[in-house]
Structure 1
């Protein structure tokens, strides 16, 4: 008889993107910082990510966030982000979901009104501002990573598509930014499959031609994201709205517009002189959900204008459950799970 492997999760979603928050059953990982714990998980125990994002437990469009001890003494919790493309060091939607899950599960005491606290992501310290009304978390505002434009309006030839004009932003990962209308898209839900195929072709063409390096972090991996940009509507002085869609390589169109996608878009609008500190940008997804980006200030770093920003959104808890993994299940590779799970129970 084989033993069952078990751990506890809280399923959440922000803007339609499901984040599975792992809150129990995982042993303490090696590493003094959240970044080091992430690197251990990535290099030695990737089974947690693959089990939860692959059949029969999940789908690639989901994300996973593992709660871990923080290194920063200010932080109330640490979290490691896992997606189909691997281990991004930051994500706005995952941060919103993680903060909500911690509050709604009483892992961080919830207080009525505005509440501030600090989390630690693999990118470092993240300030959180939560709005609680009648005991419910109604909104989370989190810091976006400082964002900048690496490349502005370059052109690349993409097989079966033609010449494509794109910009490159860094906002927690490198993003290719393209205008949807130039590629024949209106950014409606029925275009989702075609958007994914188009984005995959563009990203693969860029990957074949070049790589990118962060001015401080250096090589942060191959280009993982593409953001389709709709037309910008000015809804009031300094307040803008745009339909958007974010692609994660390989093959995933996000349900939400994503926090890092919104940050990348603000960096481009500032670079083009269309957005200033104090302005806001609401990005609207194919499903009509939205995130609100606020451009807080400009800094100089590495020879770039760096846009500091926050992202606001709402997450919902949709399930609390225990995952049971049977090592005898031929559809599941649990070989990298045993070393990090604390809950191993005899099978009936």
Structure 2
């Protein structure tokens, strides 16, 4: 039985789901990290700004995030992206990012997942009308600003997405005394979110699927220490940032890569991909330290061995700060499509999270 046939075979299923509040979604993974693109059912008006859309969801429709991201339909590391359709043909789509704990300004892997989904569904041009090897550019509006994207097309399919964000910058560094008794240099950068980069050898571990539970626990301790010890102000805002994302770094295993990392968030999730915004922030830190030149490539490896291809495109000079304009390339693959529904008689229908971080019920 094919997916298209199930509705014909069981029409009562379509009727049942159609009577309930629900979301129409397309799932994908970007180099291992899931993205759930919400195409409809959110109540977001066409042409809304991403900031307006995020405020609407946060204050009036947080059930969308809970339904899309949390158990039993999702999990702690599921990531959601609600689409804002344009009000006029040819205008760029918008997106509101969401995870198990919040509504981030920016997410790199989800940008690649959203862009791939829009391309594959024909919402921003028909891929089958292009040559076997072609590129085309478009924009995506996010809370972090409007992104410039390029789709790389091979054989009528979207083989990769290149995104460019407006800004990434270095915040500050410090020596931190870890629970292991070692001193570790911690570098903090912003690439759409704040990230603290910590060498994984400082806690006597390595970045492997088998050590992820230990890395999540160790990240919690580092996060707590930074909350009381990190004193560098964000050069753009003038305030000391709250750092939720701890990124363990190591030397690469893949000969094509320059570094390996795994980010762990304050909600207890971790990134299976190399993490797009963390890659942007890492490039900004390395550039500020003189370890990466503008125009130079930076290939980042994930816990699964997948790769993002980054580059510091150019310098950025603000009023009282400087940074880089970063670019990252990665690939996503669609894995599922369907409708998430909520039975209003279900006591757990709004979703929950248990294990691996703060519980939500």
Cα contact 1:195–1:253 (8 A) shared by 2: no
State yes or no: 1:279 paired with 2:300.
no
Structure 2 counterpart SS, 1:78: strand
Match of 1:197 among 217, 222, 228: 217
Matches within 5 A, 1:1-348: 4-29=20-45, 32-70=48-86, 75-111=91-127, 112=130, 113-152=134-173, 154-159=174-179, 163-210=183-230, 214-216=234-236, 222-231=242-251, 241-333=258-350
Matches of 2:252 and 2:304 in 1, distance apart? 18
Query: What are structure 2's unaligned runs of at least 5 residues?
Result: 1-15, 352-361
Structure possessing the higher relative contact order (Cα contacts under 8 Å, 6 or more residues apart):
1
How big is the shift at 1:26? Answer: 2.5
CA distance in 2, matches of 1:71, 1:179: 46
Quote how far apart the aligned CAs of 1:286 are. 1.1
| Per-residue deviation, 1:76 | 2.1
Q: Counting helix residues as a fraction of each chain, which structure ranks higher?
A: 2
Deviates more, 1:38-47 or 1:116-125: 38-47
Give the count of matched residue pairs: 330
> Deviation of residue 149 (structure 1)?
1.1
- The structure that is strand-richer by fraction is 1
1:21–1:67 Cα contact (<8 Å) kept: yes
In the aligned structure 2, how far is the partner of 1:206 from the partner of 1:220? 11
Q: Residue 316 of structure 1: SS of its match in structure 2?
A: strand
What's the TM-score, normalizing by structure 2? 0.83
Q: Is the 8 A contact 2:47 2:84 kept in 1?
A: no
The answer to which of 211-220 and 135-144 deviates more is 211-220
